[in-house]
Chains A and B, each alone.
Chain A
Amino acid sequence: MATVTDKDAKGPSTAELLRVGDEAPVEKSPSHWSTVWKRFQRNKLAIYGFFVILVVVIMAILAPVISQHYPTALDPLFDKYGGGGADEHPSLKYPIGTDTLGRDLFSRIVWGSQISLLVGITASALSTFIGVILGALAGYYRGMTEEIIMRLTDMFLAVPFLLIAIVAVSFLRSGRIEFLQNMTHATIMISVLGLFGWAGLARLTTAEVKRVMTLEYVSAAICLGASDWRIISKHVLPNILSPLVVVTTLNIGGNILAEAGLTFLGFGDPQTVSWGRVVNEGVINLINNPEQVFIAGFGIFFLVLAFNIVGDALNDAMNPRLKD
């Protein structure tokens, strides 16, 4: 059986590799995150997704500047001879037409992007926050804590999500409880989607924490007498960050879809402009004015697609071994 010797290797020999201290490396070795960013940049599709998200973010921030009219103003440019009115097809005056009540659809879509982004990102952040805390507790302390948290997770995983979300949104919108009366549409959606969406993440965190806890450096930290908080925050969590970032990014797309679905079904606030609401109101004109449904609908589609692409690309960039 042939053995591989130093001579067979084409690169530097073992002796060369082992020579330490002769010349210190001038450059600092690249950090984990800069490597990830470099790999991410190499992915063309990911840059496209990033670009779409950036455009929508700018659109949401600059909504008052971009849109000429307030999104709930009725037929803002109406004059007898220049056209306009309800169910107007796209024209120079109204870039994508008006809806049944004569409101400028372009402004509505620009303003609606605020709600989609806000709800998607904040709800994912909230569920990640809850999921990571519970998952870390369960994975670190084990025993009874893990048992209780895992049963709670099982319960939230088995919940028929949309049905419970419908009930919860109706409850929060009814304003039956004093201190919940002043919740806006965005706050209601964020709290419902955030509070019912953490279970998968908690499971993932528990499994990852349990895996990391068996590694040597954690044992070393325990032996040195580090406190629980220090071990979790300094040694465990930074090392399980990659899957958490990926799942959170993918969750943003799911939350945008869920918010759009709930408002489409009519469980949103009629006063708040959101893409699901635009679709809901445009449906009655599906045959004559299809742009009322499809422009907002494809807006949701492209935004969610961008978040999913970025999530996948992050996954590839962080775990290059998983790809092949």
Chain B
Amino acid sequence: MTEAVIENFSEEIDSSHSRVSHWYGIGGWFKSLARNRLLIYSFRRILTIIPLFIGISIITFSLMYLIGDPLGYLIQQNPHITPADIDKIRETLGLAKPPMQQYIIWLWGFARFDLGLTFFTREPVLDAIGNFLSETLKLQITQFLISLIISILLGVMAAKFQNSWIDSGISAMALLFQSMPIFVVGYLLIFIFSGRGLNWFPPGKAHSTPEPVTNWAGLWNGQLGDFIQSFFVHTGDTIWYMILPVTTLVFSSLALFTRLVRGSMLDILRQDYILSARANGLSERAVLISHGLRNALLPVVTYIGLFVGAVLGGTPITETVFSFPGLGRKFVQYIVRLDHPLIMAISMIITLMILVANLVTDIAYVWVDPRIEI
């Protein structure tokens, strides 16, 4: 009886807001999917990144193509090379086709995760850069987490003690860090911590040479004791080499994040519901953390998504300073050798990371905050 009443009722108010479906089974599932605002939004948003990606890749490809002839150096170094040989090499490398066609071939390959072969070593591009990609990600993710935690602490402190010496100190620190060229920070750290006096950390590279073990995957030799020992040796070695580059990167992103958290916290602390939480007698800690910070983090996360590009942009400089075998440093080396597939692969993988970061933050924003219109 009640079942039928509820059934009727749900049919009465059948509007786009009602999530109750009177379809059952797979059909109802599809229907509820089609009504899910988050899903519709994500789908629309994913469709918009495709033209952005294609646009950026066209800009990069045409600029890169116009830099020069990849075979120029080869021809200059071999005065006895015949035009027939040059044509043959061009044919092998795929440079004989018109540039338009080369771009379309590249794009079609990228869509199938086939990035081609490098010009110089003729190995698959993914094999050539895979190791560097993981090294860069290792560095970036660590610095991102560390600077996020520190900046949340500092930002909340600055907002809580607004206009006091703590606030001015933190703001001044953010201003100093923001103005510091990243390579000067790097060299300062090298000079202090691995230079003349202190010899605490290595000034460069990602692992000690000869490496104790090549990577985590190659650790297992069947013996558990050996495995545990070499695991700790390898991890310790990795961390030891990561400390200085990660500190440099934290310096560069801390300023931005701290300012964001502070501004957002100040905005939230002015709201009425903070006043009512205080009036209800909640502890200061509960007001700051569960009422303030939780709401303040939302705009911060969105903003950070937009700044992933700026964060990843610092990669070539830091990696060059520390001769760290990462994507950014390899990019600087390959651009001199004009290795088209490698240049395109690195810049487009980083572009894709930025686009996906923006996408994820946008979707997360809509998911967390139901007030946002889509």
Contact = CB atoms under 8 A, between A and B. Distances in A.
A56 to B, nearest CB: 14
B52 A301 contact: no
A237 interface: no
> How many residues of A sit at the interface, in one of the four size bands?
35 or more
Interface in A98-132: none
25 contacts: A151-B48, A155-B56, A157-B309, A158-B56, A159-B59, A164-B60, A166-B316, A167-B67, A168-B63, A176-B68, A261-B181, A261-B317, A264-B181, A264-B317, A265-B316, A265-B332, A283-B187, A286-B187, A286-B195, A294-B187, A297-B187, A298-B184, A301-B179, A301-B180, A305-B176
B247 interface: no
A124 B188 CA distance: 29
A183 interface: no
Nearest to B351: A160
A276 B195 CA distance: 22
B244 interface: no
A114 B63 CA distance: 28
Contacts, number: 136
A253 interface: yes
Nearest to A162: B313
A133 B124 CA distance: 45
Contacts of A260: 181, 183
Contacts of B181: 257, 260-261, 264, 297, 300-301, 304
Interface string B206-245: 0000000000000000000000000000000000000000
Interface residues of B, number: 50
Contacts of A163: 313, 316, 328, 331, 346-347, 350
A167 B60 contact: yes
B118 interface: no
B358 A158 contact: yes
A312 interface: yes
Nearest to B309: A160
Contact of B64 (A151, A161, A167): A167
A264 B187 CA distance: 12
Contacts of A159: 56, 59, 309, 351
Contacts of B343: 167
A201 interface: no
A18 B153 CA distance: 51
A174 B175 CA distance: 37
A249 interface: no
Contacts of A305: 175-176, 179
Given A151-B48, A159-B59, 4 more contacts: A167-B67, A301-B181, A305-B176, A305-B179
B351 A293 contact: no
A171 interface: yes
A149 interface: no
A306 B67 CA distance: 36
Contact of A301 (B63, B184, B306, B320): B184
B182 interface: yes
Interface string B293-318: 00000000000001001101111110
A309 interface: yes
A308 B175 contact: yes
Nearest to B320: A265
B67 A171 contact: yes
B196 interface: yes
Interface in B46-98: 48, 51-52, 55-56, 59-60, 63-64, 66-68
A151 B51 contact: yes
- A-B pairs, 3 with minimum CB distance: A297-B184, A305-B179, A162-B313
A286 B355 contact: no
A170 interface: yes
A174 B66 contact: yes
A162 B335 contact: no
A313 to B, nearest CB: 11
B183 A261 contact: yes
Nearest to B64: A167
Interface string B329-348: 00110010000000100110
Contacts of B317: 162, 261, 264-265
B10 interface: no
A158 B179 contact: no
A297 B179 CA distance: 11
Contact of B67 (A174, A265, A283): A174
Contacts of A154: 48, 52
Given A157-B309, A158-B309, A177-B66, A294 B346 contact: no
A300 B188 CA distance: 14
Contacts of B260: none
Interface in A287-324: 287, 290, 293-294, 297-298, 300-301, 304-305, 308-309, 312, 324
A249 B184 CA distance: 22
A279 interface: yes
B332 A304 contact: no
B187 A167 contact: no
Contact of A297 (B183, B310, B320): B183
B331 A158 contact: no
B148 interface: no
B195 A287 contact: yes
A167 B347 contact: yes
Interface in B322-374: 328, 331-332, 335, 343, 346-347, 350-351, 354-355, 358
B256 to A, nearest CB: 11
B313 A157 contact: no
B190 interface: yes
A305 B175 CA distance: 7
B132 to A, nearest CB: 14
Contacts of B188: 294, 297
A128 to B, nearest CB: 19
B355 A161 contact: no
Contact of A294 (B64, B184, B309, B314): B184
B191 interface: yes
